[in-house]
Structure 1
Amino acid sequence: MYLPRHFQMENARTKHALMDRYPFATLVTVTDGVIDANPLPLLLNPHRGHHGVLEGHIARANPLVRQSPERAMALFHGPDSYITPNWYPARRAHGRVVPTWHYLSVQAHGTLRLIEDPDWLRTHVAELTARFEREQTTPWSIEDAPRDYIDGLCRAIAGIELRIERLVGKHKAAQHKDAATQRAVLDGLMAEGWREEEAGWLSGLSRP
């Protein structure tokens, strides 16, 4: 990933926070020279290993189960937006402006392991469900379904664990521009309906 110094996301906590907030990732693997990409939610356990461990699951029918690649990269995307030059004060001053795209992204590189242990899979599914149900008025639990039904579904999946060895984060916004431009981008994003927090990240006025 092309990464100019002023766009580097250097803080490990910031990278972990982005991965936790936007957990739907793309798992990229290469087997015998063939690139594969699987979109799936991945849960971060920041307390295991130096950079953390990602846990998820795929269908047992997925070719990735047979390929069993050892190396993988999980790509996480935060908020992103097209930025029109109409927002820039410089457009009115001298016109030397062009459109761009602002975004936040984290790449997690590491060693991939497939897991078939039934207890691990059931625990993982329970944790995954709890993570995404926690904001519901009445959170659903796997205990709300018949045990044999959940066990049957778990037999149809395989767990994956990515032990992170390298984390690369990029925050491409207007950090390197003047305060007036950053504020103008923030106002433009807010007018388009972005929440203030994410608009702040995309304008470069704040960090996630």
Structure 2
Amino acid sequence: MYTPSAFAIDDLTTLHRQILDTRLAMLVTHGDNGLQASHLPLLLSPEQGPNGTLYGHLARANPQWRELEGGAEALVIFPGAEAYVSPSFYPAKAEHGKVVPTWNYIAVHAYGRAEVFSDAQRLRDLVSALTDRHENGRAQPWKVDDAPAHYIDSMLKAIVGFALPIQRLEGKRKLSQNRSTADIAGVREGLVASHDPHDQALAHLMPKE
């Protein structure tokens, strides 16, 4: 990921926070069948390895798991808040007009090679942990044990799990840090005034005076 130094995230805790905040990640691999991508909920074990370890699963019918099993390097993308930045947000537009549109966003990229597993108990533990994470906060959270045991057993046979130790992490927070203080304030105010919740979410992450 192209990341000018002004936008780079170097703090591991901040990188992990973006991973944890991303509900659906993108797993990308390249192998004999070319590029493949899957959209997946993942778990992070931050204490496992120098950069943490990611856990997830793929449908057994999805050929991408064979790329993982074969040792292909994987890229996992964790997108964060994003918003279009109009040139009209910049006070500099009125001063000299030398402004163009851009996009502000946050993203983390994780790289590594995965271990694939099909052990039933390990898969059950994984899907239970994923379920608990995303059911948390509901009035009546659903549990894996709520379904008939034989049904869950059949579902587990249809998936393949993986553990991906993160070998390299890259993070980017492009929040107009390369603009003047006045322009940053203008972007923040412009996004706050938007009716789009994506714009408002990004605005609250921008630096303040």
Q: Give me the TM-score of the superposition, normalised by structure 1.
A: 0.92
The structural deviation recorded for 1:104 is: 0.7
**Superposed counterparts of 1:39-188, under 5 Å:** 39-67=39-67, 68-70=69-71, 71-188=73-190
Higher deviation after alignment, 115-124 or 143-152: 143-152
Q: Identify the residue that residue 35 of structure 1 maps to in structure 2.
A: 35
Supply the distance in 2 between the matched residues of 1:136 and 1:31 (Cα, whole angstroms): 40
Cα distance in 1 between the residues matched to 2:113 and 2:176: 34
Q: Show the counterpart of 2:204.
A: 200
Alpha-carbon shift at residue 176 of structure 1 (Å) = 2.2
CA contact (8 A) 1:23 1:43 kept: no
- Structure 1 runs of 4+ aligned residues shifted over 6 Å read none
Alpha-carbon displacement from aligned partner over 1:8-34 (angstroms, at most 9, x marks no partner): 111111110001001311111121372
Shift of 1:137: 2.2
Q: Tell me by how many angstroms 1:197 deviates.
A: 5.5
1:137 partner SS: coil
- For the 8 Å contact 2:59–2:158, the answer to whether it is kept is yes
Percentage identity across paired residues of the two chains: 40
Q: Taking structure 1 as reference, are residues 185 and 69 closer, same or farther at Cα in structure 2, changes over 3 Å only?
A: farther
Matched pairs, number: 205
User: How far apart, in 1, do the equivalents of 2:111 and 2:150 lie?
Assistant: 36
1-structure distance, mates of 2:28, 2:11: 24
Q: How far is the alpha carbon of 1:66 from its aligned partner?
A: 3.3
Letter in 2 for 1:6: A
Q: Is the 8 A contact 1:45 1:52 kept in 2?
A: yes
Most deviating of 170-179 and 125-134 = 170-179
Deviations 1:29-82 (A, max 9, x none): 121372211111111110111100000001001112333232211111001111
Q: Which residue of 1 aligns with 2:21?
A: 21
SS at match of 1:181: helix
Question: Which deviates more from structure 2 when the two are superposed, residues 58-67 or residues 83-92?
Answer: 58-67
Amino acid at match of 1:97: V
Q: 2:59 and 2:208 mapped to 1: Cα distance?
A: 41
SS in 1 for 2:13: helix
User: If the length of structure 2 is used for normalisation, what is the TM-score?
Assistant: 0.91
What amino acid is aligned across from residue 105 of structure 1 in structure 2? A
> Residue 187 of structure 1 aligns to which amino acid in structure 2?
E
- Aligned partners of 1:198, 1:9: CA distance in 2, in Å? 16
Q: What SS is found at the alignment partner of 2:109? A: strand
Partner Cα distance (2:33, 2:149) in 1: 41
Answer whether contact 2:75 2:111 (CA < 8 A) is retained: yes
Q: 1:200 Cα deviation (Å)? A: 2.7
